[in-house]
Chain A
Amino acid sequence: MSDDSHHDVSPKTIEQVYKPLTRRTFLKGAAASMVGMAGLMAALKPLLELEKGEITLEGLLRKHYRELGPEELRKIIGLISEKTEREYGVRPNLHDRKPSEGVEFGYALNLSRCVGCRKCAHACLKENNQSRDDASDIEMSYIRVLEMNQGAINLETSTAYYNPTAVPQKDKYYMPVQCHQCRQSPCTKVCPVQATWQEKDGVVVVDYDWCIGCRYCMAACPYDARRFNYKKPTIPKQAINPNQGYLSNRIRPKGVVEKCTFCLHRTRDGKYPACLEVCPTGARVFGNLLDPDSEINYVLNNKRVYILKEDVGTLPRFYYFFDK
């Protein structure tokens, strides 16, 4: 590159570098600025289509759920109910049931009984107010049912996209997977803004108004249990479940993460989760781990129990068991 050393690099004089401002350059500059501004406005124009009320000052200033006083929470519940009514045509019964003392929820699923009908996955969609426009919306269900090959518990050879005329298929068995409500939950650990945490009764919840949508929790979850709202949920008026919990099944905004909450808007009221109620084979057992006489404790103490991915150290509150 020695030939290049002839290239003139001596500094220009200040007059050459720094031309004085003349009328001509000023006008040229002004014209260029106008074009630039027009370009910027054109680039930002799509933002005009943002829905009214999607970004509000109140929303921007809203505090983290756990910092809200009862009065503030009541006010926000009112605002959210109004918004739901405005956008979906139904005024929900939006409430915020708190966890009870002496309750820690646990869930067990009988792999000997599950037939893979996926009724639980569909019931989950309905209960939790998710879109049901087309077949791909099942992806948002908090439950993935895996069709497994007999002979091993091998996730690698399983499929969630089985589509037979009837279940169960010969040589197959079925394994529904949903949030394991881990005691050592990787998802809550990685969230940069503490938008997700474990409640006193062991349920891992998300503050939909605090989540920034970075999806780090989804990367952290070993059970593929978290879902992201890539679009705004679309639910017809008559399909909306009006019994809505603040931390569970209220209609989510787009751009936030959500997950199974063991239907806490039901279970904290003493009901069973929707997936359990719909199960035709009675494969699901739900209850209070702190109650020694509960059915869940009977299962854990007397059946052969399997913990999925125990090696990852998540200490789940979700268990699998076998009859035989």
Chain B
Amino acid sequence: MKDYITFLFRVWRLSFQGGWRFYSWMTVLTVLSLIGLRAWAVQVVDGLQTTGLTNQVSWGAYIANFTFLVGVAAAAVMLVIPAYIYKKEHMHEVVLFGEMMAIAVIVMCLLFVTVDLGHPDRFHHMIPPFGVFNFPGSILSWDVIVLNGYLLLNLHIVGYLLYCRYRRQAPTKRFYIPFVFLSIAWAVSIHTVTAFLYVGLAGRTYWHHPLVPSRFLASAFVAGPALMILTFQVIRRVTRFWIGDEPIFTLRMIMTVAMVINMFLLGCELFTEFYYPTQHAAAAQYLYFGLHGHSGLVPWIWTAIGLNTLGLGLLVAPVSRRIFGLNIACVASFIGIWTEKGMGLIIPGFVPTPLGQVVEYLPSLNETLVCLGIWAFGALLYSWMVHVAIPIMNGSLSAHPNFSPNPANPSETL
């Protein structure tokens, strides 16, 4: 116990030690987070009139970002599966980074849901025994369970493995392997349940079809690995932890397959909506071509389709066997999927309204600042975790510093 407190204290101290690059990066992120916090405080005082939302379009940028990020969090499973099921050694080196990303991103998801609430002060109404939990009726109550469960699972796995590494002990398998396997199924569940949030609404024809969960997973397994590939390169450049090309190219393969499936499913969706258009295709009509003279999302969705097509093209072509080409593919796919799956999925659910009215939505400045703040906070959290984890992972910080570190294979116990 005393050891553990020392460990926490050292991690705390470690959080504030770094070069000027580290300090400037963290300062920028902190300032952005505080700007977002302030924007949210304004929203709490004035109500959601500070957003661009209306009675017709009652969910917007917050829920769009939430939906996208649940996918990114779930994508950690794309490191866990190769590492633990296919026993790929090189994935073991990086799996902790994926799990840390899942933690940071789930926290972002929870923040996005919280800022969307009209009464965040009543958050405890969702938490038994203080509240009345509508389980199993409400899919949102399922989502609360799976998201928090996934957060706890990853916190446990990451925390336990790092602490063992710090103590130079081999981790006890039964303390983490069952949780690792549980987290695989759980990762799929978080994104499926999030998709069911929408699919379960029979009155919203744009969402009410069985392809949504499959597309959610496919696009998540593009966006998540894309972000990992980019961040892994940052980690190997600026920290004392070497990540080889192997995990990066394993992720490329995963991304490619997922992107092919995603685009195929998109094709199926477009065929269903437009080959024989019914009234149920009105939302798709609005999204892709505009409806009754309203076309706010048209440039948005075509940008997304352009970026995703570019991403797909680069991924299947030999050009992405080189890091530079791969990076372009990652940036294009990540932004493309964020665009399509965020606003491109949420807003057409409300336009036209179930009564056929077209009311367009544009996020307000205050709303955008809140979103920006949460993104910055997520980046801050992830940077902090990586920053304190690396000295533990590469052996420079340990409970027994006189012990000779073993840099040859820093991940052997992970």
Residues of A within 8 A of B (CB): 1, 4-5, 7-14, 16-19, 21, 29, 32, 36, 39-40, 42-47, 49-50, 55, 59-60, 64, 67, 139-140, 144, 146, 154-161, 177, 186, 189-195, 210-216, 218-224, 226-232, 253-257, 309, 312-314
Which residue of B is nearest A148, CB measured? B356
Task: Please indicate the chain A residues that have their CB under 8 angstroms from the CB of B270 in the complex.
Answer: none
Q: A224 touching B355 by the CB < 8 A rule?
A: yes
- B87 interface residue (CB < 8 Å to A): no
- B187 interface residue (CB < 8 Å to A): no
Q: B17 touching A212 by the CB < 8 A rule?
A: no
Q: B56 touching A224 by the CB < 8 A rule?
A: yes
Kindly list the 7 A-B residue pairs having the minimum CB-CB distance in the complex, ordered from nearest: A213-B118, A222-B203, A255-B118, A155-B356, A11-B396, A192-B140, A9-B242
Q: How large is the interface on B (under 10, 10 to 19, 20 to 34, 35 or more residues)?
A: 35 or more
Residues of B within 8 A of A (CB): 10, 13-14, 16-17, 30-31, 34-35, 37-38, 41-42, 44-49, 51, 53-56, 58-59, 113, 116-126, 131-134, 137-141, 144, 197, 200-204, 236-237, 239-242, 245, 279, 282, 323, 349-350, 352-357, 391, 394-398, 401, 405, 407, 410
Q: B394 touching A11 by the CB < 8 A rule?
A: yes
Q: B391 touching A11 by the CB < 8 A rule?
A: yes
Task: Please indicate the chain A residues that have their CB under 8 angstroms from the CB of B42 in the complex.
Answer: 46
Q: A50 touching B45 by the CB < 8 A rule?
A: yes
Q: How far is the CA of A230 from the CA of B52 in the complex (A)?
A: 10
Q: A4-B237, A140-B55, A155-B355 are in contact. Are A44 and B37 (CB under 8 A)?
A: yes
How many whole Å from B405's CB to the nearest CB in chain A?
6
What are 19 sample pairs from A and B whose C-beta atoms fall under 8 A apart? A1-B323, A29-B16, A36-B30, A43-B37, A44-B41, A64-B125, A154-B279, A155-B354, A155-B355, A156-B279, A219-B59, A229-B118, A231-B49, A232-B47, A254-B47, A254-B118, A255-B48, A256-B119, A314-B203
**Residue picked from A16, A140, A214, A313, most chain B C-beta under 10 Å:** A214
Task: Please indicate the chain A residues that have their CB under 8 angstroms from the CB of B139 in the complex.
Answer: 190
How many whole Å from B313's CB to the nearest CB in chain A?
22
How many whole Å from A62's CB to the nearest CB in chain B?
9
Task: Please indicate the chain A residues that have their CB under 8 angstroms from the CB of B51 in the complex.
Answer: 230
Task: Please indicate the chain B residues that have their CB under 8 angstroms from the CB of A139 in the complex.
Answer: 54-55
Q: How far is the CA of A95 from the CA of B197 in the complex (A)?
A: 36
Q: B396 touching A189 by the CB < 8 A rule?
A: no
Task: Please indicate the chain B residues that have their CB under 8 angstroms from the CB of A186 in the complex.
Answer: 201-203
Q: A44-B38, A55-B121, A221-B354 are in contact. Are A14 and B47 (CB under 8 A)?
A: no
Q: A220 touching B201 by the CB < 8 A rule?
A: yes
Task: Please indicate the chain B residues that have their CB under 8 angstroms from the CB of A223 in the complex.
Answer: 203, 354-355
Q: B202 touching A222 by the CB < 8 A rule?
A: yes
How many whole Å from B143's CB to the nearest CB in chain A?
8
How many whole Å from A180's CB to the nearest CB in chain B?
11
Task: Please indicate the chain B residues that have their CB under 8 angstroms from the CB of A190 in the complex.
Answer: 137-140, 200-201
Q: A192 touching B126 by the CB < 8 A rule?
A: yes
A-B contacts counted at CB < 8 A amount to: 235
Which residue of B is nearest A49, CB measured? B45
Which residue of B is nearest A60, CB measured? B121
Which residue of B is nearest A141, CB measured? B55
Which residue of B is nearest A210, CB measured? B125
Q: A42-B34, A158-B356, A193-B131 are in contact. Are A216 and B45 (CB under 8 A)?
A: no
Task: Please indicate the chain A residues that have their CB under 8 angstroms from the CB of B350 in the complex.
Answer: 219
Task: Please indicate the chain B residues that have their CB under 8 angstroms from the CB of A32 in the complex.
Answer: 16
Which residue of A is nearest B140, CB measured? A192
Task: Please indicate the chain A residues that have their CB under 8 angstroms from the CB of B349 in the complex.
Answer: 219
Q: A7 touching B236 by the CB < 8 A rule?
A: yes
Q: B10 touching A18 by the CB < 8 A rule?
A: yes
Task: Please indicate the chain A residues that have their CB under 8 angstroms from the CB of B13 in the complex.
Answer: 18, 21
Q: A9 touching B240 by the CB < 8 A rule?
A: yes
Q: A156-B279, A256-B119 are in contact. Are A194 and B134 (CB under 8 A)?
A: yes
How many whole Å from B136's CB to the nearest CB in chain A?
11
Q: A212 touching B126 by the CB < 8 A rule?
A: yes
Q: A220-B203, A221-B354, A224-B354 are in contact. Are A12 and B141 (CB under 8 A)?
A: no
How many whole Å from B246's CB to the nearest CB in chain A?
11
Task: Please indicate the chain B residues that have their CB under 8 angstroms from the CB of A213 in the complex.
Answer: 48, 117-119, 122
Q: B31 touching A39 by the CB < 8 A rule?
A: yes
Given contacts A18-B397, A47-B44, A255-B119, 17 further A-B contacts (CB under 8 A): A9-B239, A11-B410, A17-B396, A18-B396, A42-B38, A43-B34, A59-B121, A155-B356, A193-B131, A212-B120, A213-B48, A223-B354, A226-B55, A228-B53, A229-B118, A231-B47, A231-B49
**Residue picked from B42, B139, B352, B357, most chain A C-beta under 10 Å:** B357
How many whole Å from B188's CB to the nearest CB in chain A?
22
How many whole Å from B110's CB to the nearest CB in chain A?
13
Q: How far is the CA of A60 from the CA of B242 in the complex (A)?
A: 50
Task: Please indicate the chain A residues that have their CB under 8 angstroms from the CB of B140 in the complex.
Answer: 190-192, 214, 216
How many whole Å from A284's CB to the nearest CB in chain B?
19
Q: B41 touching A47 by the CB < 8 A rule?
A: yes
Q: A230 touching B203 by the CB < 8 A rule?
A: no
Which residue of B is nearest A155, CB measured? B356
How many whole Å from A16's CB to the nearest CB in chain B?
7
Contact of A191 among B138, B242, B398 (CB under 8 A): B138
Q: How far is the CA of A39 from the CA of B33 in the complex (A)?
A: 10
